[in-house]
Amino acid sequence: MDFSSVQMPSGTFTIGKAFDFEGGHRLPSLPPEHKCSHQHGHSYEVEVILTASGLEEPGFVTDFGALTPFKEFLDTELDHHNLHEILPFEPTSELLAQFLSGWFIQNLQPAIPGRLVAVRVRETGRSWARFDVERQ
């Protein structure tokens, strides 16, 4: 087969990379009978989703290795911490996704070619929240 005859359609490229960390939290504004008002923990999975209309050599939206500072932030600042004690908001998955989006945009996005589209925070295998970044 002659692969040179395959036409490359126009469009955008999207990548995602998942990271994980362990964290505890409680949501003190919930009623005492709600299970999440009590201290508990999660094996969080955080996925960043980036997009670009063009690719950097050799064909990347962003080199996955360039995302290492985000993993380092999760490891040093959030891993094995009580999130309600260190974050300035109640650590729901929704607010955590928004916060991590803000950190990514402020600290990492200026140094990489891709644009952050969303951050997804998964508390369990069946429960997640996603924050979609408005196009800047």
Distance CA 60, CA 13 (A): 9
Which residues carry out catalysis? 36, 80, 123
Q: What pLDDT, on the 0 to 100 scale, is given for residue 135?
A: 81
pLDDT by 10s per residue, the chain, length 136: 789 989 989 999 999 999 999 999 999 999 999 999 999 999 999 999 999 999 999 999 999 999 999 999 999 999 999 999 999 999 999 999 999 999 999 999 999 999 999 999 999 999 999 999 998 6
pTM above 0.85, yes or no: yes
Is residue 23 a contact partner of residue 78, using CB atoms and an 8 Å limit?
yes
First-to-final CA distance of the chain: 43
Which CATH superfamily includes the segment(s) 11-132? 6-pyruvoyl tetrahydropterin synthase/QueD (3.30.479.10)
Domain-wise residue ranges, the chain: 11-132
